[in-house]
Each structure stands twice: as structure tokens, then as C-alpha cells.
Chains A and B, each alone.
Chain A
């Protein structure tokens, strides 16, 4: 659920260029707890408006597809006979500070009686969905993983809690009320056994599973959801982003009906409201009691009892070296339909290895079970098809086409720059940046050219528009229009007055530079008469420069989340480009005024400000009609293409891994929405196979036929 949660904001993504380490794809989350860029960019108002648009559009979409809608909800439509209230009434019995907190907000926390449950609720269970784990899975073994940084805390929230290790403890481990099915639409039951939508479309009722139990053996209590909000709103966790996200403005009310029944009311009837609501994680009240300012320190290395399959025991924390997660004995969800055959290894050992080269060597030795092969140098040279380990079948090479929105690798031109403010120059730059050469030279044609500013949004994406292909002739034609007519003795275009066509080209991704991306772009741009001064900066410094809008042009990516619509307001509306009031941005003819102040810490890296585009975006956000929205989306994509400040780069529509023979997987390898190979825990370790393979290695024999497999079930055309 965190994927959606973080993706909810377009966070400045700290992602390697399809790094050698698949894990790092996830790292966008580690921009920090408070996510300054996104938080500032996404006003409350905007969220409300977007929500409305989404809700209406979603309903229309469902109608179009002839799906019956249950109370403005999603596609779960298998009605179950209404169940009478279960269990006894609940009385609150929390620590004084916690009680005080609940009492201070009587509208937010309601303790009702079992009889108060509205009648006529249609309870659903997600039973019609298919399981996605393999019945062949075997339990046992230890899955060997690594992390490049020793986790700085075992807390789930608070300072440093957003590191890469969090995914092991929480994101890929936690069980929520309901969870989105990773192979398509619908939700499968987690902590909730069944659920029902309220008539207002923004309240969801849940019956929690009476079996649910924390790793310390204590049962899940319905009041833990109250406590979850208490914690998320507490100042003591030092996590303003969470304080804001779980504020009473968004999570308006939680009502407890009986020991197993509760309802949660969200502030808007979004189409995916249940997903937002289920993001509220119950927190074991018995573990914390109440929170004080010591929380961050006291719980730095204390693992909160989990409802998930794996826990971190104190004995298994080797400071600075490794952390081992072990399977909770007699895990409550072991036999549940969507959890059986998952979380198979008995333990996951996460060793700290800082040097990427060493990580790979450890993998080749069999000390690590898998290694990402996204980078061409790994796939082709470091682990080629004729590598001993591959040839002898010890290690499998796998390429899996997933189907998720991709990070937007693109060059963004600062249209506030005196030269780049000229549209002819910007369009010229589109012709001058040779991404097909980059894809060929640096990525060996493994990647694809991104087409527009909003790819991968189904019908909302532009049907036929493509990025401008490299052309010396067209680029020079555009530059000549802007007055750069002479070719200097250095091969760079200049104006008759001697002003050279030269830009500082910033990137925070050292890895891209090492892969030659910057060099190739620079070399090719020179053919078109443009000088690019490559500036590869240390990551924090670079993002600072970019978010202060001091760059001239930058290469980078923003992470995206699974959504029905592209977002235009955040990156392309002048609200996010300039500080001045809207009325002061344009003159009477709708032309952008000069000398405006760029607005820092927004995602508008292009500083796009166009009167017409502004108007279209505003209409787009207000529109309630699917047809109109689709049309507006196409128009906007076209307009932004014409504007030229966004030069689409590349997309990588798959992930690639090398894994040892003993790591087994279902027949389709993984689920559609997986971003990393092991995030859904549907793989398993075959310990006998491991022993056989190691023996065969020792004897210098093959352990089977070479296996180099491509899974393209979810590949798009």
C-alpha cells in the first residue's frame, strides 16, 4: 500500500537509472519523511478537486464498461447476505494521554453500539478474485538479500524510517485491511474478512478477521485503529508528512461498532477510497501504551510487533552487519486464501554490503540469492549467457515485463532561462537531444524512447503523438529562427553578435554519467551546433539546485504511481512555476510577463507557464465528463509537446534479474504490478535444490540446462 501512498505524491524520485540494484527502484520513498517538494506542490484544495474529478470519471468509466457499482465503490460486486453484528460492545480503556486525545475529537472517534450498524450494507469478501501465489511453493530456507546501508532505525515512522530497509519490515510485509490485487482490479481481504461501502461513498465498514494476531501473540484489537490515528497524528513521531496525511481533515471519522466491526470515513468519495482508507494501519496499543517525546529514541531499535509474516527479533540484529527477519511461528494468515503459499522462506537475511562490485561478487559466490541485471553491463558482460554459472544452469537469467507506470526519464528545459524562454530554441533542443543514440550506445537498445509527457495512462494518453526524433537539419532550422545563424570556429552556433548557443546540463545521477548518457547527449548535440556543459552534481546539491529552479536544463525522473489520469497541474500549471499571483503572471494579451520569480520546491522543473495551457489544465481538473477529460488530456499532451520544455527520454518496460537455481517462482514468474522481483513474496527457496546445486558446483558439473527466460505476458505493444 505504500507504493500507492508515496506515489500519491509525485515525489522527486531518487532512482538510479534502472540501477544494477532492482531494489533501488523503490528508493524514491527515501527522499525524506516530510517530502517537501510534493507536500508543497499539492495543496489541500487541489487534492479535493482532483478527488472529485477522479470519482466522477471513475463512475463514468465503470458505467461505460457495464459494471454494476456498489455504492460508488469499486468493482467488487459479489453481494453477501448482510451479517448481523458480531461480538460485544467495546469500551475504551487507554492511557490517559490517549483517552484525552480521543475525547478532544469526539467527531473523529466514535464508540457506537453493535446495534448502531446501518442495515442494508452489502458485505463483500473479494472471494471472486484469483490467488496469485503458486500451490507448488515450498516452505523453508533462508532468502539471502543485501542492503547498501545498515538500517538507521527499526521504527516504521519518524526520522530515518523511510530508508530502503523499511520495505522488508513494512511495505512488503505488513497486512492491511484490504489490499489491491496485483494482477488487476479489485481488492483482496487482509485484516478485514469482509467489508461494505456506506451509502455516502466515502465510508467503508470492515469486519476484522478474528484470527488476526500480532507477532507477539496478542490479538489484533479493533481499538488499534484508533491508536493508529493517535500515533500518526502525534507530534512525538516527528513525521509531519504522516501527521498531515492522517489528519482529521482526511480521515474524518473512525467508528467502532463491536469487537470486530468498524467503519472509517474519508473526506472525499474517491474512486479508490477503500485503498486510501485501508492505508490506516492498526498500531498495537499494548506495545506502546502512549507516546512521549522519547518515542524516537526509545524505539530506535525496537521492532513493533507486526501482523505480517516476518518479524525482526533483537537477537537477529547484528549491528552494522546484518538484520535477519524470521517468519512468525504459526503466523495467523498462513492458511488464508491470498496469503497461503506466500512468504515462504523461514528467514530473510539482509546483509550490509556497501560496494556494488562486492555485492555482485557475493552473488556469484552464491552468498546472495539474486542480483538485479537491469544495467546492460550486468546483463551482457558481467553475467553473459555463456557465463559458467549460467551455462551450467546454476544461475537463471530472467526478464520480466511488468505493467506499471514508469519513472519519467526526460530532459526538462528551464523555460524561465533567457534563451530557453524562446519556443524555437526549445523545439530545436528537442531535435538536438539524441535519445535514440543514448538508447543504442548506453542502453544497447534495451530501453524504449518515451513518447510523450504522459505515457501509460491508457485512453488518456495521446493515441499517436511521438517525441521528436534527432535531426541536425530541423534543429538548426529552429535555432536559426531564434537568431543563431552562424557556425563558430568551435562548431557551436552563435548569433551575429557573438552569443553562443550553450547550456549547462545538470543531472543528479552520477550513474547516468558513468554509463555515458551525458557524454553521448553532449556529443550528439554538438552536431546540431549546441554546446552542453555537463554538470554532474552530488545528489542532494543537485536536487536543491533544481528545486530552486536555478538549473538551465536537467536530466532526471519523477516517480509515478498507478493512476487513471496523468497529472498536469503539478508540473505544468503556472501556479507551480511562479510566485506571483495568477493575475500578475500574464499581460493583457495573455503573454507571460518578464522578471517573474520562480517558485521553489515544486515539481515544475520546466517552469512551464502558458496562458492557454493554464486554462486547459483548469478545465481538465474541473471536468466531470470522461469524454471531455480524455479529449482535454490529448490536447494538453499536444500543447505541452508544442511548448517543447519537456524532452521525453526513455522508458524501461521490464526488470531483469539473475537468480540462483534454488530460488523458485510461479509459472508466470511474478504479478503484473510488481516493480521488484520479490516484493509480493511469491517465490520460495528449494533447500534440496540448493544443496544439489552447491554440490554440482563443487564437482564442476552442470546442475541443469541453462535457463534464460523472458516473461512477456504483461508486455504492451
Chain B
């Protein structure tokens, strides 16, 4: 096999190749930039920021470091990758993937849905997209937009007679403007936020069936939360979680697996024993202990931070299985002639591993990837179901399933969650099948 991923730019470069590389660069750059930034930002915030609250510096540091360094990483990654080219082998594999229509369209669908969900607050939100009032225009749905109270719009008391000095309910505002003509409100398609409870009809709350007029497209749950909104944001969290999980698990698993396979002998022996020991630590107990431990910290943790901790714990206990596959692939590959040739030419060990061996084991990695994503989705749902998953209040599929099972008389809850789950897992599986098919080394290489 001949390696050729140096960027000797050729004029006949198709645009999609650039797009794919940029996307890959963006994602990888953001993930690693974010992790690094989070870490450094946390340290900086902890020791150098002075804040009114304990721990706020740390949390802010992590948040800002994650966002800013992540963004920088994404730009850098995107930029660097824009000039990269696939080697002809990979190109053929990708073309083949494109040829498998079921997998291809599944990818497009899932990626499309995910992109939409990233911009979710413009589609599903209880804050208005645009409010025009007394010559002023507000965009409350924008991220970091300030909240406007009822008093700001000249409403003194809410429906229950309380002082309206809190964020206005934009649906009510819309109704009011429609009757008084004092302004305009444009609401998103689904005008509910996932954590908002509602009163329906006679003032009692109950799961209500799908109602298009009220724009409860999938109905509401027992406390009047909109199911579509919860599904939608649950999808976003689940998928981000699963993708980050997969990325990090692969990074650790691949590196350690490669090292064990390449060096062999005592590195392999010790490494494997260490992995075995590690694997025998019961995962669920660790989750329980960690959940108990972080709630004991002397300062407040925002929900996203708890999600991050959960992610880290899951990663810590999931990277091990990947090492086995990588180790075997590398063991098999390293005895081949091209490795010997590279060694003869004086290539360094990292170069041999990452430039020569890794591309030849890519099929192992790529094949497992979609299934890892699926596993992550299922795990987070299951953990939620057991009550050790995402923090209370976070829209999650696991909790919806649980709610649905507990309220079988309101079948739209369990049906929505179940259908969504099945659809996503099916798409992921289709993608996985297509990738395996496309990257199957037997299509291209014959071993004597």
C-alpha cells in the first residue's frame, strides 16, 4: 500500500472533498480545543478569577475556555484540514459509501436533524423570535439575549394577579398584542421550552393528547410539558453526548491499543493486565459514587457540568474494549513488509504507527464507530431510566420512556419517545452497515 495524504493540490479537487475535510476539522478541532480550553480555563478561573460566589470562577473558566478555545480549535482544525486530500484508497471507499444509498441518505438525514437541533432555539422555544413593541424590536430567542419582564411591555400583573416583574410569557404577550394591536410577536414553530409546565383547560394538569391548534404536536406529559420540545432537546443532548463519547473513547482506545500492539512483549502484557483490572471495576457503582460525590462539593455545579462529569465517567469505563481490537489489528499489520520498509528508511515510531499502520486499520475503527454511538445513546438513556443519568429537569429520552411506561393510559408519551429512539438507532445502524461495507478491506486488498 502506498501512503499519500500529503497535500499536493490538484486542480480537479471536488468541492465535497473540501467540505468533508473542513467538517472533520471543525468537529475534531472543536472537541479537542474545547477539552483543552475547559481544562485550562478551569484552572485559570479557579486560581485567578475573583467572583462573588465560591466555585463560580472555576465553572466560568471551564465554560469560557471550552467555548473560546473550542472555537479557535475548530477554526484551526477547519483551516488545516481544508487543504487536506483523501488518498485514492479512501476516496474510493467514500465513493463506495456514497453508492450505498440507504446508508448515505441515513447520514444526510441524521446530520440534517442534528444541524437543525443545534439551532433548536429558533424552532422550539417559548421565547419569541421577534417582538416589535412601541417602535422597538427585540430578539429574545437569540442566545444571551436579556430577558424582558412583563413590565417592560407595559403589563403590570400576570394572569394570577402577581407583579409581572419576571420574564414575560411571549405566547400570552402575542395574544394580548393581537387583541390590543400594540405590537407584534413572532413565535417559533413550537412555542414551548422543554422545561416549561403548563396549565391546560380547567387549570388541572394532565397528559393531553396531540393538539395542533395549541401546537402541542406530540401532546404533553403529566405535568404539562410539551413532548415535542422535550424530544427535540433530548435528541440534541443525547447526540452531542454520544458523539463526544465516541470521539474520546476512540482516541484513548486507539492510542493505547496501538501502543500495546506495536511494542508487544511486556508493554502488551502489562497493558492487557491493567486493562483487565480496569474492566473489572463495576461501572454502575462508580457512577453512583461519583454522583454522590459531586453533590457533596462545597459549591454549586450547573447542569451541564454534571453532564460533563457523567461523560467523563462513562468514557473512563468504556475505552477498554477498543484496545483489544486495535491491538490485534496492529499485531497483524506490523509484521507486513511495508512496516519493515518504513523502519529501514528510518521512520520514527509515531510516524510508523500513525501514518502507516493506522490508515490500514481504519476499517476496524470505522466499522465499530456507529455501533459505539448507538451504545452511548442507549447507555445514557438507560442510566437516566435508573436515575443516575442527566440531572433532574434536563430533557432526556430515558426519563420520557420511564414517564411513558408509568402512564400507559397516555400512549402518546411512550410512543413518541420510543419511535424517536428507534428511528435514530435505525439511522445510526444503517450508516454503520454502509460504512462497514464501504471500508471492508477485503474489497481492495488481497492477502496471500
Chain A residues within CB distance 8 Å of chain B:
356-357, 377, 380-382, 440-442, 444-445, 470-473, 476, 487, 489-491, 495, 497-500, 502, 504, 506, 510, 513-516, 518-520, 522-523, 526-529, 533-538, 541, 545, 550
| CB-based nearest A residue for B162 | A472
Interface pairs (21), CB distance under 8 Å: A356-B406, A357-B406, A357-B408, A381-B206, A381-B207, A382-B409, A441-B223, A442-B205, A471-B163, A491-B166, A499-B52, A500-B52, A513-B392, A514-B406, A516-B197, A519-B197, A520-B223, A534-B393, A535-B295, A538-B292, A538-B388
Task: Give B205 Cβ to nearest chain A Cβ, in Å.
Answer: 5
Is B405 an interface residue, CB under 8 A from the partner? yes
The proximity string for B residues 174-205 relative to A, scoring 1 for CB distances below 8 Å and 0 otherwise, is 00000000000000000000011101000111
A520 neighbours in B (Cβ, 8 Å): 197, 223
A522 neighbours in B (Cβ, 8 Å): 393
Can you add 15 more A-B contacts, CB < 8 Å, to A377-B407, A514-B406? A440-B204, A441-B205, A442-B223, A476-B163, A476-B165, A516-B223, A526-B167, A527-B162, A533-B302, A534-B391, A534-B392, A535-B391, A535-B392, A536-B387, A537-B291
Q: Given A440-B204, A514-B403, decide whether A519 and B195 contact each other with a Cβ distance below 8 A.
A: yes
Is B410 an interface residue, CB under 8 A from the partner? yes
A523 neighbours in B (Cβ, 8 Å): 195-197
Is B51 an interface residue, CB under 8 A from the partner? yes
Cross-chain contact B295 with A516 (CB below 8 angstroms): no
| CB-based nearest B residue for A531 | B300
Cross-chain contact B392 with A550 (CB below 8 angstroms): no
B296 neighbours in A (Cβ, 8 Å): 545, 550
Task: Give B354 Cβ to nearest chain A Cβ, in Å.
Answer: 43
Cross-chain contact A529 with B166 (CB below 8 angstroms): yes
Cross-chain contact B410 with A381 (CB below 8 angstroms): yes
B197 neighbours in A (Cβ, 8 Å): 441, 516, 519-520, 523
B409 neighbours in A (Cβ, 8 Å): 381-382
Q: Which of B144, B167, B291, B300 contacts A504 (CB 8 A)?
A: B300
Is B222 an interface residue, CB under 8 A from the partner? yes
Is B134 an interface residue, CB under 8 A from the partner? no
B223 neighbours in A (Cβ, 8 Å): 441-442, 515-516, 519-520
Contact residues, B277-291 vs A (CB, 8 A): 288, 291
Is B224 an interface residue, CB under 8 A from the partner? yes
Cross-chain contact B393 with A490 (CB below 8 angstroms): no
Cross-chain contact B295 with A537 (CB below 8 angstroms): yes
The proximity string for B residues 401-425 relative to A, scoring 1 for CB distances below 8 Å and 0 otherwise, is 0110111111000000000000000
Cross-chain contact A538 with B288 (CB below 8 angstroms): yes
Cross-chain contact A445 with B204 (CB below 8 angstroms): yes
Cross-chain contact B206 with A380 (CB below 8 angstroms): yes
B410 neighbours in A (Cβ, 8 Å): 381
The proximity string for B residues 135-159 relative to A, scoring 1 for CB distances below 8 Å and 0 otherwise, is 0000000001111010000000000
B51 neighbours in A (Cβ, 8 Å): 498
- The residue in A491, A506, A522 that gathers the most chain B C-beta atoms within 10 A of its C-beta is A491
A236, B38: Cα distance in complex, Å = 56
- The residue in A441, A526, A545 that gathers the most chain B C-beta atoms within 10 A of its C-beta is A441
Task: Give B59 Cβ to nearest chain A Cβ, in Å.
Answer: 12
A519 neighbours in B (Cβ, 8 Å): 195, 197, 223, 225, 393
A535 neighbours in B (Cβ, 8 Å): 295, 391-392
Task: Give B254 Cβ to nearest chain A Cβ, in Å.
Answer: 35
A541, B295: Cα distance in complex, Å = 9
Task: Give A604 Cβ to nearest chain B Cβ, in Å.
Answer: 20
Cross-chain contact A472 with B392 (CB below 8 angstroms): no
Is B448 an interface residue, CB under 8 A from the partner? no
Q: Which of A491, A502, A529 contacts B300 (CB 8 A)?
A: A502
A538 neighbours in B (Cβ, 8 Å): 288, 291-292, 387-388
Cross-chain contact A536 with B163 (CB below 8 angstroms): no
A502 neighbours in B (Cβ, 8 Å): 53, 300
| CB-based nearest B residue for A471 | B162
A473 neighbours in B (Cβ, 8 Å): 162-163, 165
Task: Give B404 Cβ to nearest chain A Cβ, in Å.
Answer: 11
| CB-based nearest A residue for B388 | A538
Q: Given A357-B405, A377-B222, A538-B291, decide whether A491 and B162 contact each other with a Cβ distance below 8 A.
A: no
